[in-house]
């Protein structure tokens, strides 16, 4: 199966958010920060902390949430030229290939450690920090998306 991919900024930013939120350590940190914020609000309501302490804790909560939701994905998007390029992708029985006018690269399916599906992308992971985003809108119709999903799931373990 051959497709031509062209990334859309909004979709890539959302996919990067999914990537970060799917990481265990980030999930735990977000839970911890939200519990901390809730605890600070309860203490403030019972007048156990000063308004300044509550304001500072609220500011810290806001900054951490903005970092994960906006700043981190935007920074990754800006630094990666990949998302501003157009590629030809080939999904074959034995390998995955990507290329453009500057070159090409082929990977055997065993080189991918896991796969995650989100609303707009298939995330193909090489390791926990390195992955390739395959946009679903590159496929011509839902049948082709289903065919790609079936092939990917048969070749790459699904991320839990």
Structure confidence by residue, pLDDT tens digits, 73-118: 999 999 998 899 999 999 999 999 999 998 999 999 999 999 999 9
DSSP letter (8 states) at residue 136: G
Q: What is the mean pLDDT of the chain?
A: 91
Q: What is the CA radius of gyration of the chain?
A: 20
Q: Tokens 């156990």 correspond to what residue? A: 48
Burial label, 68 (beta-carbon count in 10 A; 0-12, 13-18, 19+): middle
The alpha carbon torsion through 56, 58, 61, 63 (nearest 10 deg) reads: -70
CA atoms of 102 and 107, how far apart (whole Å): 17
Q: In percent, how much of the chain has pLDDT > 90?
A: 66
Average pLDDT over residues 112-132: 93
The predicted structure's pLDDT at residue 17? 92
CA atoms of 98 and 86, how far apart (whole Å): 10
CA atoms of 1 and 147, how far apart (whole Å): 9
């Amino acid at each position: 199966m051959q497709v031509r991919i062209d990334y859309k900024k909004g979709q890539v930013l959302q996919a990067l958010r999914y990537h970060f939120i799917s990481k265990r350590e980030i999930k735990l940190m977000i839970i911890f920060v939200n519990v901390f914020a809730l605890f600070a609000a309860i203490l403030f309501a019972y007048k156990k902390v000063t308004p300044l302490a509550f304001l500072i804790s609220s500011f810290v909560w806001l900054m951490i949430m903005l970092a994960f939701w906006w700043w981190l994905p935007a920074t990754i998007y800006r630094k990666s030229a990949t998302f501003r390029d157009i590629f030809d992708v080939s999904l074959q029985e034995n390998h995955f290939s990507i290329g453009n006018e500057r070159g090409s690269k082929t990977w055997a399916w065993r080189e991918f450690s896991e796969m995650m599906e989100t609303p707009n992308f298939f995330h193909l992971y090489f390791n926990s920090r390195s992955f390739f985003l395959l946009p679903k809108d590159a496929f011509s119709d839902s049948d082709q998306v289903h065919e790609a999903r079936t092939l990917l799931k048969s070749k790459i373990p699904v991320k839990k």
